[in-house]
Structure 1
Amino acid sequence: MKKVFNKCFIILGVILNIQMVNAQRVALKSNLIDWATLSPNLAVEMRLNQRLTLDISAAANPFSFTIADMKATHFRFQPELRYWFNRPMARHFMGISLLGGLYNVKFKEHLYEGDIWAAGLTYGYAFVLSRHWNMEATLGIGMAKLRAFDYREGEEKPATPNLSKWSPVPIRLGLSFSYIFK
C-alpha cells in the first residue's frame, strides 16, 4: 500500500509541475463527507482550457477502530476530467471519473482485503462564494471491479483473491470547499 501511495503522489507532483507553468487557475479542495467518515482527503483541480479541468483527489482512512461490529480502512485515488457548461470552477459540470483503491474491511467475523477499480460519470455544481472560495456538490455513479480475499477471522487467508465481481457503485459523493489560487 505504501508503494501505491508513493506512486500516486509522484504522479500528482509531476502533473502539478507541468500544469503550474500554464495554469491560470488551480484550486485546493477538501471533501466534508470524507471527513465525516474519518477519511482525511485532499484534491487539486487544474484548469486545462476554457471548458475543461482535471481534478485529482486522494483520501485515506488509516484509523482502526470498530463501530457497530464493523472495522474498515482504505486508500482511494480519484482523477476526474470535468467539462464546465459556464466557465471552469463555476456552476454546472459533468465529469468522467476514475477510481482506484485498496480496502480492508472486517464485518463481525468476516474479513475482506482487496482492491477496487472503477469508472463512471459525475454531475456537480460549484457555488461561487467569493473570489477565492467555492463550495461544490458532486454526485456520480459508475461500475467497479472489486477483487478481494474473502475469509473468516481465525481462518487462513487464501493464497489468491477468491472474490471478484463487477458492481454498480456511487463513484463520487461530495460536498467540498475549495480555495482557488488566481
Structure 2
Amino acid sequence: MMRRNLIFLMLFVSIPLFAQKWAVKTNLLYDATATVNLGTEVGLSPKWTLDLSGNYNGWTLSDNKKWKHWMAQPEARYWFCERFNGHFVGVHLLGGQYNVGGIDLPFGIYEGLKDYRYEGWYAGAGLVYGYQWVLGKRWNLEAAIGLGYVRAKYDRYDCPQCGEWRGSGYKNYLGPTKAAISIIYVIK
C-alpha cells in the first residue's frame, strides 16, 4: 500500500506544472461587511481558469440583528487575452446557509426581514463579467459582477430574538449574484 502511494506521489510530482499559475484573493466588498472570505484561482489552460471562493459571517450585530451565513462559489472563467490579465467572462454556482433577522436587505429580497428571522439554505447559478489589472509582479486587482438565479428554502420565525416558528417556504431570486473588488496575490 505504501509503495503504491509512493509511486503515485512520484508520478504526480513529475507532472509538469510550469504552465500552471495560482492565485489567492480576498473580496474587499465582503471584507467591508465583516464577512471573512478567501478565494483561490488556478490556471487550467492559457485562456481558462477555475476560481473557488468561500465566505463566512457568524456575527450577531447590535440589538440582536443577525447576518449569519456561509457560502461557497466555484466559477469557470474564460479570458479574452491571457489568464489573470484583462477581460473575462464566466459561469458560477453558489450555495450556502443563512440565519438573518432584524435587518432590511436591499432590492426587496426578503420583505419583512426587519420583523422576522429567516433561516435556511440557498443554491443558484449565474454568469459573470470581470476585469483584472496587473499591479505588479505578484499583485493584481479585480472587479467582477455576476447575474443569476437563486432558490432559497427558509423557515420564518416571529422575531430575531424570541424565535417562535411561523412557517416555511421557498424564495426565488433573479438578479445580482456576485459583486467583487478583489485584491489578488499571484503564485507562479
Q: TM-score, normalised by structure 2?
A: 0.80
Q: Decide whether aligned partners of structure 1 residues 71 and 92 sit closer, same or farther in structure 2, where only a CA change above 3 A counts.
A: same
Determine if the alignment matches structure 1 residue 65 to structure 2 residue 61: yes
> What secondary structure sits across from 2:165 in the alignment?
coil
Tell me if structure 1 keeps the 8 A contact 2:24–2:185.
Answer: yes
Q: Deviations over 1:107-146 (max 9, x none)?
A: 2430100111010000000001011100000000100001
Q: Taking every aligned residue pair, what percent have the same amino acid on both sides?
A: 38
- Correspondent of 1:157 among 136, 143, 165: 165
Aligned to 1:120: 126
Tell me if structure 1 keeps the 8 A contact 2:77–2:88.
Answer: yes
1:97-176 pair list within 5 angstroms: 97-107=92-102, 108-153=114-159, 154=162, 156-157=164-165, 162-176=168-182
Amino acid at match of 2:164: E
> What secondary structure sits across from 2:29 in the alignment?
helix
Aligned to 2:21: 25
1:156 is displaced (CA, Å) by 3.1
Aligned to 1:11: none
> What secondary structure sits across from 1:34 in the alignment?
helix
- Correspondent of 1:178 among 172, 184, 187: 184
Distance 2:120 2:175 in 1: 16
1:21 is displaced (CA, Å) by 6.8
Q: Deviations over 1:21-47 (max 9, x none)?
A: 736200000000000010010000000
Name stretches of at least 5 consecutive residues in structure 1 with no aligned partner.
1-16
Aligned to 2:108: none
> What secondary structure sits across from 2:156 in the alignment?
strand
Aligned to 1:40: 36
Tell me if structure 1 keeps the 8 A contact 2:58–2:68.
Answer: yes
| Stretch of structure 1 that moved more, 162-171 or 41-50 | 162-171
Aligned to 1:4: none
Tell me if structure 2 keeps the 8 A contact 1:109–1:152.
Answer: yes
CA-based RMSD of the aligned residues comes to 2.1
Distance 1:61 1:25 in 2: 29
Give runs of ≥4 in structure 1 deviating > 3 Å: 20-23
